[in-house]
Structure 1
């Protein structure tokens, strides 16, 4: 009634005789409707919050038992993860070390639990309760990248892995060694003009040849370096890695993925198009061979058993009607495999070269091992037996990956609770598997010492102190592939060049993560050619017996080298024989 009285008084004072009651009633009805709507929204929100809290009560309870960072209300530690990738990685490394062996980090409502103790790592890695990576799948799904082993879980992951595993057996990988050697020789030849102590950043060059090794082996195709699709693909990988890191640091990842769905789709177009182009080319190639009644068995062992490479196997199975995977699934797996193959070994090789540059005594010892195997013949291609003898080089690679793992933290979704030594990891969180520089197992954990992986020291350590390629059901299918590739590449470089440092060793600790880790200041070093079997230092490291064995080895391998050169040049369409002697 107060509203009506006020309206009458106001109209009388102003000399108006109009009746305002109908208009006021209409306003009141509208206000009542709005008030009812507001109350309904409040009730629904309250019900949703209560349901959300009830559903997550177990997660919060178990999380409260785990030490670590609670962060700020609502956003958690998301604000600490803003800024540069260097700052973000430094924050994570600092707190993982501070709260060793188990730490929790809240990123908004998203719970991360990091484990570092070897017993806990073994429990988690071998568990079948944390096989998926939904957080990564959410990003890639917006780009229609398809499903691959790195994102799948459950039954689909099982039959995908079962189909792919045979293509990474050692009997298949042995056939790739000559291809690794071919591109390694191309790389050292490319550096020949800079082998005068000139400073250079080698990371992009390593990535370039690494990618071509992946194409020529796993994919079974040769890609033109000037291919526009390839160049766009490399740019898209760089952009996609940034988007994935931004997604991980966001306190509302689901909202973030929806908000940036269009951006993700645009940036992943070339990331998807190029692998699809590779698959289409391979399907066309295999079809043509079938039509011409030619064998599509690309790899065959001495025993006569058919040994196909990854993409050849999947496509041949598809066209013959015996494939477990559909064409769409093959395309998704190819997107995943190309990305994983490109991303892992290039940082490992780059860090190994930089560490050898700063530790000339270790570089000399590695060179001596190569002299024992090859003599002073730089052109002698490595065989599988040669690679098996490179025990010290393998120790160097393992020590490099201990200090600078290609993927510093492995993240997986926890589908069910996982009990570890002192805590229970709750379901619906993301677990981070981290291999720290653990002073409990390494005397000087920050020092580069390949002898940490000598047989004597390895036998006294917990086996899960160091697992660069993971273990258990989700062990990396390309672990042996990566080790063979890095051995061939590094052994070839060390036979040709002395690696010299640029900057300070401390600069290597300035790292940034774009899925894999790289130095903030780049991978810079100098190379100097080793001429006529010159030893790296002024002090002779090779005694007379070793020198004699090396020269004998060189003579014995000369015939093998000639045959290998003929085989390599014939594959490239060249004929090494003199013009008058080609019968």
Structure 2
């Protein structure tokens, strides 16, 4: 968080504690604090956090129209320059998630051909294979109870690792599973702290994170070294395609740049999809009528055959279920930017240099766009209902020029996995209320267990 001198013109401020403002509210329940800010003060709210001299001023924008300004129509005024993005950059590299300006444009031009719908559709088989492995493993689940948050995290990691690394998937999954939580916790602690010691100091936290980064980088670098100069054939893994990506204007990725892309794809490619799948299963367990309807659609469309990419368009209700799960549990519940120039949003002036917060968690519950917003209702995502809402009333993949390049891949993976799982098992809730925590992505902060029973 940056400390800024100015405050937004006429922007209402959420009341906080003497001296530290809303610091402890944000630490204990940031999403609840943002919801309360909108409920009490409207669509543009200032939240102060921290003691004098180290106080951060967060300018929160909760409307769909404001989100569109920040992410799309005036995106040049809002940059990824805040402290958290710098910590992600320092730990996971300067890949597509964190790069800016010409670095970002060059990377996007090189990577874009590998994320066309036609190319992404070739990954359907790998997703189906990993999903089938998870389904088979559940046949011996103790007491027929599974934690869907843990299981979907494991499934999504294996799927993205297989697509990235092909035959080297086993060499990476164990290291990523062990090292990512250490690095992520370190990034978050530093990203939200007003003062940090240099990374080079030999503190226990610095040393743990450095060891995890060294191990993770080492595995990626070893696999990358095997790919350099490899010939590319259709259907090969994504890393081989990335290693060969080049054009006349942008040359190609060097080894360090290639590792940066791999790390970002691992980070963004498995945690976000895992969140969507886990909460879709949890919500369907709580709503058996919608679960039965989704399963009936899967049975009617797929029968006993393996799903393929073309089935995405044939499973509209299942897609609506996933979109509604992503509304209630967006994998990126909070998005940060820093303003370059003073900008008027919703009748208020956000000053230059301000930390700007968008909160899909809040906008996705805004009663202006979502009647009875806490209710699970996949019918909100019929084509007619979507057309009637503002574009940025729902933005789990961001938007504008920095929209997630992996959006189609995430939907492909989620629809295929959910279809296969529902075809085999019914789900009943064991844990009805699942607390969440906000890290780099949204995660279940406790067990998310369901009782499963074979269909039929």
TM-score w.r.t. structure 1 length?
Answer: 0.71
CA distance in 2, matches of 1:96, 1:458: 23
**Match of residue 117 from structure 1:** 63
Matched residue, 1:237: 180
User: Which of 202, 208, 211 is equivalent to 2:148?
Assistant: 202
The one of 379, 387, 393 aligned to 1:465: 393
Q: How does 1:16-415 map to 2 (within 5 A)?
A: 57=5, 59-60=6-7, 63-69=8-14, 71=16, 75-83=20-28, 87-108=29-50, 109-126=55-72, 127-140=75-88, 143=91, 145-194=92-141, 198-224=144-170, 227=171, 230-250=173-193, 252-253=194-195, 263-264=205-206, 266-271=208-213, 273-287=215-229, 289=230, 295-299=231-235, 310-317=238-245, 323-375=251-303, 377=304, 380-415=305-340
Give the Å deviation of 1:264.
3.9
Residue-by-residue CA offset, 1:239-261 (whole Å, 9 max, x unaligned)? 233233333443x2456878898
Measure the CA separation in 1 of the matches of 2:264 and 2:313. 29
Describe the shift of the 1:309–1:170 C-alpha distance in structure 2 as closer, same or farther (beyond 3 A): farther
Counterpart Cα distance in 1 of 2:173 and 2:299: 38
Q: CA deviation at 1:399?
A: 0.4
Deviations 1:76-99 (Å, cap 9, x if unpaired)?
42233345xxx3443333334333
- Any conservation in 1 of the 2:61–2:67 contact (CA below 8 Å)? yes
Question: Do the aligned partners of 2:88 and 2:187 also contact (CA within 8 Å) in 1?
Answer: no
Q: Give 1:476 shift.
A: 0.2
SS of 2:296 mapped into structure 1: helix
Separation of aligned partners in 1, 2:368 and 2:383:
18
SS in 1 for 2:140: helix
Q: 2:449 aligns with which of 524, 529, 539?
A: 524
- CA-CA distance at 1:429 after TM superposition: 2.0
* Structure 1 runs (4+) greater than 6 angstroms displaced: 256-262, 318-322
Structure 1 residue 484 displacement after superposition:
0.3
82 and 334 in structure 1: CA distance in 2 versus 1, 3 angstrom threshold = same
- Change in 2 beyond 3 A, CA 1:212/1:92: same
2:243–2:253 Cα contact (<8 Å) kept: no
- Stretches of structure 2 that go unaligned for 5 or more consecutive residues are none
Q: Does 1:422 align with 2:347?
A: yes
Distance 2:207 2:112 in 1: 30
Output one character per residue of 1:304-359: Cα deviation in whole Å (capped at 9) or x when no partner.
xxxx7542223124799983332222122222221111221101100000100010
Q: Displacement, 1:125?
A: 0.8
1:179, 1:217 within 8 Å by CA — same for their partners in 2? yes
Give the C-alpha shift of residue 207 in structure 1: 1.3
Is the Cα contact below 8 Å between 2:168 and 2:223 reproduced in 1? no
SS at match of 2:76: coil
Once residues 454 and 275 of structure 1 are traced to their aligned partners in structure 2, the CA distance between those partners, rounded to angstroms, is 43
Given that residues 224 and 259 in structure 2 are in contact (C-alpha distance below 8 angstroms), is that contact kept between their aligned partners in structure 1?
no
3-state SS of paired residue (1:128): helix
Q: Judging changes above 3 Å, is the alpha-carbon distance between structure 1 residues 118 and 125 closer, same or farther for their aligned structure 2 residues? A: same
C-alpha separation in 1, matches of 2:20 and 2:437: 23
Q: Secondary structure at the match of 2:373?
A: coil
Indicate if the aligned counterparts of 1:275 and 1:334 stay in contact, CA closer than 8 A.
Answer: no
Distance 1:66-1:322 versus aligned 2 partners, 3 A rule: closer
Contact 1:113 1:431 in 2 (8 A): yes
Q: How far apart are residue 116 of structure 1 and its match? A: 1.3
Q: CA RMSD in A?
A: 2.8
Count of residue correspondences? 446
Under a length normalisation based on structure 2, what TM-score does the superposition of the two structures give? 0.89
Distance in 1 (CA, whole Å) between partners of 2:325 and 2:198 is: 35
What secondary structure sits across from 1:246 in the alignment?
A: helix
Structure 1 residue 102, shift from structure 2 partner: 1.2
* Alignment CA distance shift 1:230-1:393 (3 Å): closer
Give the whole-Å Cα distance in 1 for the aligned partners of 2:444 and 2:90.
30
Asked whether the equivalents of residues 170 and 480 of structure 1 are also in contact (C-alpha less than 8 Å), the reply is yes
Is residue 347–residue 518 contact of structure 1 (8 Å, CA) maintained in 2? yes
Paired residues of 1:142 and 1:264 also in contact (CA < 8 A): no
Bigger RCO (CA 8 Å, 6+ sep): 2
Structure 1 segments unaligned to the other structure (5+ residues) = 1-51, 290-294, 300-307, 532-583
Larger Rg: 1
